[in-house]
Each structure stands twice: as structure tokens, then as C-alpha cells.
């Protein structure tokens, strides 16, 4: 999914992240908490994601509030260090070998600066492309997580 954030200076950024499923009603993904995207989400915990299927002429936009997942949820889905500059690919290969040797036969602990977020939706927009620009656009929106969803149709 594409994730759009806004940093503390109001600069928007969008990047692709791996959607990992629904966690407690939110769309989840994982990252290094020291990455620019994590810092933007910590400073401004609102975001938007986009799922786009060009071949189907369909997309789903979702906006909402972002929260960190619990430490237990993050540890349950742990990968590796991300978003830090490295000198070359061989450096990465050497680090993998080092950690394989260091943690041979045991689980690698999840670093404290790595974990997940989930976007708690307050708005979905479903877009279905049609001939002649007669696209179908449906919105589901709610004021808060406790509110009822309201459905509306938008003009293309």
C-alpha cells in the first residue's frame, strides 16, 4: 500500500509499505521507529493509505489516525533494521552472516527501535473506473471509532 504522511514542517511524503493485515481494527505495517516515516507519524499521527490496482481500474483510499502497535504485537512480527544508510550490499551480507553466527540456534530479539503502526480508519473511498469517466466513487466515513459509518456517493 502507499502511505502518505506529513512531517513537522508540513512536508508531505508518500512511500510504499507492506500491508501486514488488520490489527485491532487498523491497517498494520512495520518500520524502524527512527525512520523519517515513523518520525512523521509520531509528530503528526494522521495518515492516508492507497491500494491501487491499475489493471482493474480500482482503488481504495483510507484515512485515519495512526497508533503504535503494542510491543508484543511488534515482537510477534519482527524483521530487521531498515532505512539506515549502508556503504554497499556486501556490508548487508556481512551483517546477516554476523547475526546468523551470533544468534545461531536462538531467536533474534526485536530491537527497541523497531515495531509496528496501525491506521485506525475514519474514511474509506472506493473508486471503480468506468468508460467515459463515469467512475463510481463510494465513501464510508465516521466521526470517531465509536461512531456509525455513513455511506455516500461522490460525483466522478
Burial 31-53 (b: 16+ CB within 10 A, else e): bbbebebbebbeeebebbbbeee
From the list 36, 85, 40, the residue with the least C-alpha distance to 66 is: 40
Let me know: does 141 contact 150? Beta carbons within 8 Å: yes
How does DSSP classify residue 44? S
Place of cell 503502526: 117
Catalytic residues: 133
Let me know: does 52 contact 59? Beta carbons within 8 Å: yes
Amino acid at each position: 500500500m502507499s502511505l502518505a504522511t506529513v512531517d513537522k514542517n508540513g512536508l508531505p511524503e508518500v512511500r510504499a509499505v507492506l500491508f501486514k493485515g488488520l490489527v485491532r481494527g487498523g491497517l498494520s505495517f512495520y518500520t524502524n521507529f527512527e525512520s523519517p516515516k515513523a518520525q512523521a507519524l509520531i509528530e503528526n499521527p494522521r495518515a492516508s493509505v492507497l491500494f491501487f490496482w491499475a489493471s482493474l481500474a480500482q482503488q481504495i483510499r483510507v484515512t485515519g489516525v495512526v497508533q503504535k502497535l503494542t510491543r508484543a504485537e511488534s515482537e510477534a512480527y519482527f524483521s530487521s533494521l531498515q532505512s539506515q544508510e549502508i556503504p554497499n550490499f556486501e556490508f548487508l551480507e556481512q551483517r546477516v552472516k554476523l547475526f546468523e553466527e551470533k544468534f545461531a540456534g536462538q531467536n533474534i530479539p526485536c530491537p527497541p527501535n523497531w515495531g509496528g503502526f496501525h491506521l485506525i480508519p475514519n474514511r474509506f473511498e472506493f473508486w471503480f473506473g468506468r468508460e467515459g469517466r463515469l467512475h463510481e466513487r463510494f465513501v464510508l466515513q465516521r466521526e470517531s471509532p465509536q461512531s456509525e459509518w455513513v455511506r455516500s456517493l461522490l460525483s466522478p
